[in-house]
């Protein structure tokens, strides 16, 4: 609750001030985290729903804070976005993931790009340089972008076209949670829609539960896009998604984000 001062001025909630101080501290800590080797990358399998085999992985960054322990990316990515450190963190994740996945034949890697990265004029060249250094073929890289990063961003949209001209694919992350119109989507240069996990969580075998997922799948068919469903936690959800025509799934049902050695182990045991 906000407190009214003597002149009726609204002061900030003390807990909000604490939170700001904590964020400012995290922001300072994050500035040196990369150089101190506190960041690493985990890999969550993207699974072919028909055969239950991994076809790719999503790279997800982790921060092991020396005092606080693991800090969630949901907490520190927005901070990095505001301070600008996301630019170097994003390139670190990209390079680490491309180098790692170059050694996993047959898999592609999906890397998250934050809105701020799309505003860097050098982004396309930076990505091409990483591919050259790591030897990963462009068709094995997917860049994930949220809808909100692209609204009214003609420069960002032009970059996506450039990526695609080089054979790099583009995915819209958390699809359905943003505000872009369907008409707008038809003009976006993208290859993949990732159905947000809030819609997957609604699947319960009823038409009401599957409404949005079905609509997205129909839309992606018309637009010749690939769909990936996120946050699959139950066999029922996986089965319903497959019935509805979704090709690829991701979620704790298959695996959590894993360190490279464990991901490799999973690849070995699912290959046959
Ligand atoms: P996201 O891109 O939507 O990534 C998927 C998130 O869902 C991951 O959380 C993943 O661990 C989680 N997840 C996967 N399967 C399930 C499931 O079955 N159930 C539930 N409840 N969750 C599931 P994580 O790793 O904590 O990342 C959170 C967010 O932080 C990401 O959401 C993404 O927006 C951001 N993020 C993570 N790594 C990076 C990165 O390298 N760069 C940027 N820009 N953002 C990142
Ligand atoms: Ca993502
Ligand atoms: Ca997502
Ligand atoms: Ca998300």
Mean pLDDT of 131-155: 91
Measured in angstroms, how far is the CA atom of residue 270 from the centroid of ligand 1? Answer: 24
Per-residue pLDDT band for 19 (boundaries 50, 70, 90) equals confident
Helices (H) and strands (E) in the chain, counts: 10, 11
- Report the pLDDT value the prediction gives residue 270, as an integer from 0 to 100: 83
On the question of pLDDT at 1 being above 50, the answer is no
Asked if pLDDT for residue 25 goes beyond 70, the answer is: yes
Q: What is the model's pLDDT at position 159?
A: 94
β strands within the chain, DSSP E: 3-4, 10-11, 39-48, 53-65, 69-71, 108-112, 141-146, 169-175, 192-195, 226-229, 248-249
Say yes or no: CB of residue 90 within 6 Å of ligand 1.
yes
- Of 30, 18, 22, nearest to 65 by C-alpha is 30
CA angle, corner 250, sides to 34 and 223, nearest 5? 105
- CB of 228 sitting under 6 A from ligand 1: no
The answer, yes or no, to whether residue 269 has pLDDT greater than 90, is no
| pLDDT at residue 215 greater than cutoff 50 | yes
C-beta of 77 in contact with ligand 1 (< 6 A)? yes
d(CA 4, CA 1): 10
Torsion of CA 82, 119, 146, 260, to 10 degrees: -80
pLDDT tens for residues 78-104? 999 999 999 999 999 999 999 999 999
What's the mean pLDDT in 188-213? Answer: 94
pLDDT: which is higher, 17 or 156? 156
Name the pLDDT band for 180 (thresholds 50, 70, 90).
Answer: low
User: CA nearest 225: which of 101, 149, 142?
Assistant: 142
pLDDT at position 7: 59
How far is ligand 1, taken at its centre, from the CA of residue 58, in Å?
Answer: 9
User: By three-state DSSP, how is residue 3 classified?
Assistant: strand
pLDDT tens per residue, range 216-266: 999 999 999 999 999 999 999 999 999 999 999 999 999 999 999 999 999
Q: Is 81 in the pocket of ligand 1 (CB under 6 A)?
A: no
pLDDT, tens digit, 9 for 90 and up, residues 104-113: 999 999 999 9
Tokens 């898999």 identify what position?
Answer: 107
Q: Rounded to 5 degrees, what are φ and ψ at 48?
A: -70, 115
Tracing tokens 């976005």 back to the chain, one arrives at 81
DSSP-derived secondary structure letter, 265: H
Closest atom of ligand 1 to 174 CA is 3
């Amino acid at each position: 609750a906000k407190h009214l001062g003597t002149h009726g001025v609204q002061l900030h909630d003390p807990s909000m001030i604490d939170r700001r101080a904590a964020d400012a501290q995290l922001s300072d800590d994050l500035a040196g985290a990369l150089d101190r080797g506190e960041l690493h990358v985990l890999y969550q399998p993207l699974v072919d729903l028909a055969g239950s085999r991994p076809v790719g992985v999503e790279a997800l960054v982790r921060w092991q804070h020396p005092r606080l322990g693991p800090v969630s990316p949901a907490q520190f990515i927005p901070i990095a976005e505001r301070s600008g450190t996301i630019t170097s963190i994003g390139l670190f994740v990209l390079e680490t993931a491309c180098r790692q996945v170059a050694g996993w034949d047959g898999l592609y890697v999906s890397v998250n790009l934050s809105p701020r990265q799309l505003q860097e004029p050098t982004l396309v060249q930076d990505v091409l340089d990483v591919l050259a250094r790591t030897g990963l073929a462009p068709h094995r890289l997917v860049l994930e972008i949220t809808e909100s990063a692209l609204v009214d961003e003609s420069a960002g949209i032009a970059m996506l076209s450039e990526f695609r001209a080089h054979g790099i694919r583009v995915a819209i992350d958390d699809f359905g949670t943003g505000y872009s119109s369907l008409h707008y989507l038809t003009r976006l240069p993208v290859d993949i829609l990732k159905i947000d996990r809030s819609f997957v969580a609604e699947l319960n075998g009823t038409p009401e539960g599957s409404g949005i997922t079905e609509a997205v799948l129909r839309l992606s068919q018309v637009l010749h896009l690939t769909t990936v469903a996120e946050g699959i936690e139950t066999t029922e959800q996986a089965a319903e998604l497959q019935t509805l025509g979704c090709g690829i799934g991701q979620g704790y049902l298959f695996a959590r984000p894993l360190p490279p050695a464990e991901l490799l182990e999973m690849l070995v045991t699912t290959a046959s």
